Amino acid sequence: ELPPASEEPEEETPPLRSISTPVPIFVNKVSFNDINVNVLGNQIDWQTFSTALSMQGDRLVIAPTALKDINVALAPSEVEPEAAAEEPKETDATPQDIVLPEVWI
């Protein structure tokens, strides 16, 4: 059983502006071969994916990356093609502005 939720609002912390590692990290080779993935009926497969990376302090270096023979097959749509082709209904609603979230990198 979970404890009751706290009534006090948590203090907002400023966004993280940089990431650094205390020791160097080296990944000399990452390779995925003959991969087949099915996510909710969406199928993705590829022959070869390979890359390498290193990180020292706050500097990330990604080596040349190769992706060979990729295939993507989307799941069938649940909407009937005839229903999708219907005339759009006119509405009297006024368009609203889109508000994007603040992004920190």
Q: Does residue 7 sit within a domain?
A: no
Q: Does residue 8 sit within a domain?
A: no
Distance CA 51, CA 31 (A): 7
| Cβ within 8 Å of residue 62, ≥6 positions away | 51, 52, 53
pLDDT band at 95, cuts 50/70/90?
Answer: confident
* Mean pLDDT value across the chain: 85
Q: Does residue 47 sit within a domain?
A: yes
Q: Does residue 33 sit within a domain?
A: yes
Q: Does residue 85 sit within a domain?
A: no
Structure confidence by residue, pLDDT tens digits, 72-92? 999 988 776 665 556 666 666
| Cβ within 8 Å of residue 2, ≥6 positions away | none
Predicted confidence at residue 81, as pLDDT, reads 60
Q: What's this model's pTM, rounded to 2 decimal places?
A: 0.53
**Number of domains the chain is built from:** 1
- In the chain, % helix, strand, coil (3-state, to 5) comes to 5, 45, 50
Q: Does residue 92 sit within a domain?
A: no
Q: Does residue 6 sit within a domain?
A: no
- Is residue 70's pLDDT more than 60? yes
Q: Does residue 87 sit within a domain?
A: no
CB distance 43 to 36 below 8 Å = yes
Structural domain range at position 58: 21-73
